Structure 1
């Protein structure tokens, strides 16, 4: 009965916190085997320690996530470009209307529109920067770990000892385990 060396990181409620297996401080982080055969509480700081465990990285999931982010970025840039083109066409149409009215007004309006264009261009860029700063995506911590050899062997030994203790309790509770009193005379 060997347990695979794959441990999933789970969080429990603060009220369910128990002592860390390493440092005995209260912890809400639990490492669980995929089949829920074994579990133990551990501090999140120990999960970052390379001497205790190492993360198992799913390269396919990471590649898919990067591709999704790139697609979102491309869509965002396309929308920005289309919006700039639309604004440029509106300005061109305004200039055509102004040229029909008078040339003097056109010179004044073109200066005003250039000033407003500079202001308009600076405002959307400022808003984009603010949006980027307000919504930074926190990096996801790894959720699957492999224990180092010594810690994994300790877990196996504890599991074996628990099974042996259980078998011994069952044997002791069974009355046929002990020898019976002799019934014949010597």
Structure 2
């Protein structure tokens, strides 16, 4: 009957906002169990309250994310290094061409600047790894998985149990054999 005390924080659309179960203010945040057996609206400020719930930290996911970020950083640095090496090589080649241009300058009568302007300049390559403002500031994303404190969890379990009992009683009331029948014989 009881469901696990592990709730995931989800956001709903502003049009679907309902009152918080704690303070009755409108809220777009919902806590829901993994098996979808229990869910309720709650204000984001209550999620920060240590008397209401505690965030469950998934250390494996954090380590995997850090490893992925480190690998991305290594790739980015490698690309930057390759671009710098490419630019150095191009500058060295341009230096050789410049010497050749100066040699031709005497013969053709054109200046080296005119020849350099006519050559296409390579554009810097952008790798497209833009970081978000939150990543630049070093902010951590807020936790998404929570565990309710025992009193609040017990209230949720009791509320769910009472709702099931009420539903069962309504179904029994719909059954005509639930009520006793009128006696057929006269008492003697």
TM-score range, shorter chain: 0.7 to 0.9
For 1:109, the equivalent position in structure 2 comes to none
Deviations 1:47-103 (A, max 9, x none): 12222112222222211111111111111111222222233333344445666859x
Deviations 1:114-151 (A, max 9, x none): xxxxxxxxxx9xx9xxx65x654364332221111111
For 1:14, the equivalent position in structure 2 comes to 14
Unaligned runs of 5+ in 1: 103-123
The structure-2 alpha-carbon separation of the partners of 1:158 and 1:93, relative to structure 1 and needing over 3 Å to count, comes to same
| CA distance in structure 2 between the aligned counterparts of 1:146 and 1:18, rounded to whole angstroms | 22
| CA distance in structure 2 between the aligned counterparts of 1:175 and 1:73, rounded to whole angstroms | 71
Higher percent of residues as helix = 1
SS in 1 for 2:9: strand
For 2:34, the equivalent position in structure 1 comes to 34
SS in 2 for 1:9: strand
For 1:108, the equivalent position in structure 2 comes to none
Deviations 1:4-49 (A, max 9, x none): 1111222222111111010101111111111211111111111122
Give runs of aligned pairs for residues 109-148 of structure 1, distance below 5 A.
Answer: 135-137=133-135, 139-148=140-149
Unaligned runs of 5+ in 2: 104-123
Two-structure CA RMSD over aligned residues (Å):
2.7
The structure-2 alpha-carbon separation of the partners of 1:84 and 1:177, relative to structure 1 and needing over 3 Å to count, comes to same
SS in 1 for 2:70: helix
Matched, 1:160 2:173: no
* Superposition deviation, residue 176 in structure 1: 2.5
Number of aligned pairs? Answer: 160
SS in 2 for 1:172: helix
Matched, 1:69 2:69: yes
* Superposition deviation, residue 168 in structure 1: 2.1
For 1:49, the equivalent position in structure 2 comes to 49
